[in-house]
Amino acid sequence: MKTVHKPIILIAVAAGFLLGACDNDKFPEPEVKDNVSFALDIQPILTAECASCHNPSEVEPDFREGYAYESMEELIDEGDIIPGNAEASELIEMLEGNSEDGNTMPPAGPMSPAKIALIKKWIDEGALNN
Ligand code: HEC
């Protein structure tokens, strides 16, 4: 009996470990909802998907926590974000990989549709520092 059960237990433990490891690596898919919060909903996406490059030692705009909204205000001033109109915002074209100037962000390819949808919602709701 023991010789039969041991391998099964080992496989179960190994599978559980691997699944756990994958879960930890994966950013949870956000819920697309109303009243999006920049601090609670958008910043975690920017931190996970953008700040590895967008920080003072790499490339502007700075999307680290504490600096990202100021960067968003610059994108609003430059017209890349049009509060209330995500569809017309260059930032969204970049995120969807169809920007006319050819920049796709992240450069490796678009994020999940749920993350992009949440950022769109935040822009449509006024791109607030909320
Ligand atoms: C692998 C590195 C990398 C990642 C990750 C990345 N970017 Fe970029 N980003 C760049 C580089 C490099 C440039 C400059 C490209 C250029 O000037 O042609 C850039 C430029 C930009 C610009 C243009 C700035 C301007 O003034 O026009 C924006 C906006 C931007 N990224 C947003 C984002 C967002 C939002 C994310 C996350 C969803 C992201 N990026 C993820 C490397 C990255």
Mean pLDDT of the 81-104 span: 95
Question: How confident is the model at residue 21, as a pLDDT?
Answer: 45
- What band does 96 get if pLDDT is binned at 50, 70 and 90? very high
Question: How confident is the model at residue 22, as a pLDDT?
Answer: 43
Question: How confident is the model at residue 63, as a pLDDT?
Answer: 98
Mean pLDDT of the 51-75 span: 98
Question: How confident is the model at residue 10, as a pLDDT?
Answer: 52
Q: How far apart are CA 39 and CA 18, in angstroms?
A: 31
Distance from first CA to last CA of the chain, Å, rounded? 60
Q: How far apart are CA 130 and CA 121, in angstroms?
A: 13
Mean pLDDT of the 97-107 span: 93
Query: In the chain, what's the furthest Cα-to-Cα distance?
Result: 71
Q: What tokens appear for 93 in the block?
A: 């074209």
Of how many residues is the chain composed? 130
9 has pLDDT over 80? no
- What band does 5 get if pLDDT is binned at 50, 70 and 90? low
Cα of 19 from ligand 1 centre, angstroms: 31
Which residues have any ligand 1 atom within 6 Å of their CB? Answer: 49-50, 52-54, 59, 61, 75, 80, 91, 94, 103, 105-107, 111
Mean pLDDT, rounded, of the chain: 87
123 has pLDDT over 90? yes
- Listed as own residue / partner, the contacts of 110-114 with beta carbons closer than 8 Å and 24 or more positions apart are 111/45, 111/49, 112/29, 114/29, 114/30, 114/31, 114/32
In terms of phi and psi (left: phi > 0; alpha: psi -120 to 50; beta: otherwise), the region of 97 is left
Q: What tokens appear for 62 in the block?
A: 């700075």
